Structure 1
């Protein structure tokens, strides 16, 4: 995974320019992005030979934590002897996720499917001798879960790729067009393979920072994908030719200004399986991060790292099951909703129904007593606890008859109705939500 922060302004500019150059109709983009906007939750899977030793995926040899030769020896230990794509897909379904993204090739160049473009694949070069992707996608599609393919544009193993290790360079692209063209034909050929073999609903590119859009031929790559599947969507790591942005690990404090965005985050501190990394996030932490992303108009792409034998660590299984149980109870406030009201009206995350007549309030922990909602210029028809239907009382305080400023709404949340992680309140309004955003009356 690339370690970087995406600058908001730069991304917006290059995305607009990329869409302009490819003559993308905004209405067409919005229509095909609808499932993504409604999905809210995806599961990211970093599967690769790096799980054998439990070291950083690709970066461990790039940063000289291990030699390239020793890194590639892990090919011999990648067995997938307990790989069960049915179990994987069922676990993802149970989590509540609507899509999943799996590595088809990381920066190390090891394909997780039977590529015909070279011999470096788990089919040809490991004891696993199998394609991971097709059986997994087949099981996902049986469950109506969208299928995403992670693909690294860079390939630090390919002999025609310019950069190999951090402090070395084989050649400059501008000095050897023929060699760069060979590599370009190679990686674009793999993209065509993946499209033909698996027809992903979503493409999750990585590594675009090493070359320009012109050098990657990003517009051509986009065209290759959309010629095969016009409905496919593409993440923002294609030098301006993607459809949505995906901040990595770092959660935005204020609401991002994008139409569509996705926070990709690990369940511990690493993307791939590392046995020494026991810093697991708790189910509450994952659920609270998820809720914040959705309340701010985004998705969560939650990562898991399977072991070299194809099993998923029990800690990750527990996280997905707990997340799924919470989603099953509270999902109406998450899925098919839109971002909530601006900060300051309620001290916690919020979401809205698409018609804006239902407001959902998310209450952390074991909070009880009175909750305050400010600036709501609506009448509340009904308040209940999502998942149980428990009815709640409220009163309006401080409303002055001659002033347009609405009063304060106080909701009484009694003890005994709280969810063990985050409680959700459902407010049915008399009309689409209207908020007072002024400075107060004089």
Structure 2
């Protein structure tokens, strides 16, 4: 199916890793997988997970202020603990935690009331399921996949019947998510532990799209995914097709009380503009505490990013990837009609901003957010090689503290020179 048009224009999503791991503030699922925390101690967190201040309407309002157009909630991570009252498998927060209720339904409703698209994260793998460690990946991507006791069968002895039961459980849980909550996006994970054939990805994709034809699927559905999901670093070259950078705000996906290494608003603006400048979305992670509240330092940063987006929304929504590297020293975006370039300047411009390789005549240059008009001129150029466009630096009062954006209005659709010059 073609990509749903809302996704590439969403630009910003919020990634919510919310689960029992927030009780002790340990890494989600991985802490017992790696032995950092004994399994029994990890699972005791069920007793402390209260969701006592869970307010999905407040989440949705915050995400709207941040400028996000969608969010993704961990409906079930690798630990197998479901946030909804599933009929398949017994491990969920409704039956086994003081929270005692479905936490996905309220989230989906609150987002829709604010006009946000609903995303749900679901891990193909479940390191707590008795049937999971029953088969071996035919081409293990790493040693853990071949030998870890939570992933691979003891002594390599496979049990295909147990694996069939596991896949049926996975398919049934995904079916519940689709039928009950009708997510706009399903964000899968854990795919590296089995092959596409073992996972039955084709049948799962058919099942999802039969239940909700508009569902967007990420690339962790392997060949049935709609978009790529690089993690934690802006790629130097954009992936082919639609894509999304998933990024932590500090160094952790979920809530870890010792992790205060939060990125600054300026850094988040940089990540965001570099990502959308290459045509991607930013999926920015926040980690709610076990009670459901989002830490104040993360709220503050979301609001700071949102304030910057609000001042510069013409350069964000309704745009496509901007200039290739080398034309402008910083990211850029391009209006959908390809007649306005938005140049992002992270540092206060000194004297002038240059733009190379532009064949178009420039009609006008203004500073987004203030409307100040800037003088500009072209120097040089010979035959087919255009000269350099010099734009006068804005006054100090027109410089944005996080990133200044210049709107360059062209006499027609963007026309770039990409040659080597006269040889």
Q: TM-score range by the shorter chain?
A: over 0.9
- 1:347 match: 329
- Alpha-carbon separation, structure 2, partners of 1:163 and 1:340: 48
Q: CA RMSD in A?
A: 1.6
For residue 367 of structure 1, report the CA deviation from its aligned partner. 2.5
- Alpha-carbon separation, structure 1, partners of 2:112 and 2:392: 44
**Would you say 1:419 and 2:400 are equivalent positions?**
yes
- Alpha-carbon separation, structure 2, partners of 1:110 and 1:170: 22
**Would you say 1:385 and 2:358 are equivalent positions?**
no
The answer (yes or no) to whether the contact 1:376–1:435 under 8 Å persists in 2 is: yes
Tell me which of 68, 79, 89 is aligned to 2:39.
68
Tell me which of 50, 54, 67 is aligned to 2:25.
54
- Alpha-carbon separation, structure 1, partners of 2:18 and 2:418: 48
Tell me which of 157, 160, 182 is aligned to 1:177.
160
For residue 436 of structure 1, report the CA deviation from its aligned partner. 1.2
The answer (yes or no) to whether the contact 2:57–2:107 under 8 Å persists in 1 is: yes
Question: TM-score, normalised on structure 2?
Answer: 0.94
Equivalent residues in 2 for 1:366-377, closer than 5 Å: 366-377=348-359
Equivalent residues in 2 for 1:293-332, closer than 5 Å: 293-332=275-314
For residue 331 of structure 1, report the CA deviation from its aligned partner. 1.1
* Runs of 4 or more consecutive aligned structure 1 residues displaced over 4 Å after TM superposition: 163-166, 171-174
- Alpha-carbon separation, structure 2, partners of 1:378 and 1:235: 38
- 2:384 match: 404
- Alpha-carbon separation, structure 1, partners of 2:129 and 2:63: 33
Tell me which of 223, 227, 233 is aligned to 1:250.
233
CA deviations 1:324-360 (Å, max 9, x no partner) are: 1011110110112110111111111111111211111
For residue 132 of structure 1, report the CA deviation from its aligned partner. 1.1
Equivalent residues in 2 for 1:41-190, closer than 5 Å: 41-162=12-133, 167-168=148-149, 169-170=152-153, 175-190=158-173
2:224 partner SS: coil
Does the C-alpha gap of structure 1 residues 215 and 173 become closer, same or farther in structure 2, counting only changes over 3 Å? farther
- Alpha-carbon separation, structure 2, partners of 1:414 and 1:29: 42
The answer (yes or no) to whether the contact 1:375–1:406 under 8 Å persists in 2 is: yes
Query: How many residues matched?
Result: 410
- 2:412 match: 431
For residue 171 of structure 1, report the CA deviation from its aligned partner. 5.1
For residue 163 of structure 1, report the CA deviation from its aligned partner. 6.5
For residue 412 of structure 1, report the CA deviation from its aligned partner. 0.4
Tell me which of 197, 201, 206 is aligned to 2:184.
201
The answer (yes or no) to whether the contact 1:209–1:239 under 8 Å persists in 2 is: no
- 1:214 match: 197
- Alpha-carbon separation, structure 1, partners of 2:379 and 2:342: 21
- 2:139 match: none
- Alpha-carbon separation, structure 1, partners of 2:23 and 2:96: 14
**Would you say 1:233 and 2:183 are equivalent positions?**
no
- Alpha-carbon separation, structure 2, partners of 1:59 and 1:183: 20
CA deviations 1:168-222 (Å, max 9, x no partner) are: 2445898322111111111110000111110100000000111111111000110
The answer (yes or no) to whether the contact 1:265–1:302 under 8 Å persists in 2 is: yes
- Alpha-carbon separation, structure 1, partners of 2:99 and 2:390: 60
What are the ranges of 5 or more consecutive residues in structure 1 without an aligned counterpart? Answer: 1-27
For residue 365 of structure 1, report the CA deviation from its aligned partner. 2.5
Question: TM-score, normalised on structure 1?
Answer: 0.90
- 1:16 match: none
- Alpha-carbon separation, structure 2, partners of 1:174 and 1:73: 31
The answer (yes or no) to whether the contact 1:251–1:263 under 8 Å persists in 2 is: yes
The answer (yes or no) to whether the contact 2:134–2:162 under 8 Å persists in 1 is: no
CA deviations 1:59-104 (Å, max 9, x no partner) are: 0000001111110000001001111111100000110101100000
- Alpha-carbon separation, structure 2, partners of 1:29 and 1:76: 44
- 1:441 match: 422
CA deviations 1:375-403 (Å, max 9, x no partner) are: 11010011101111111110111134xx2
- Alpha-carbon separation, structure 2, partners of 1:239 and 1:35: 22
- Alpha-carbon separation, structure 2, partners of 1:250 and 1:364: 18
- 2:274 match: 292
The answer (yes or no) to whether the contact 1:173–1:180 under 8 Å persists in 2 is: no
**Would you say 1:359 and 2:359 are equivalent positions?**
no
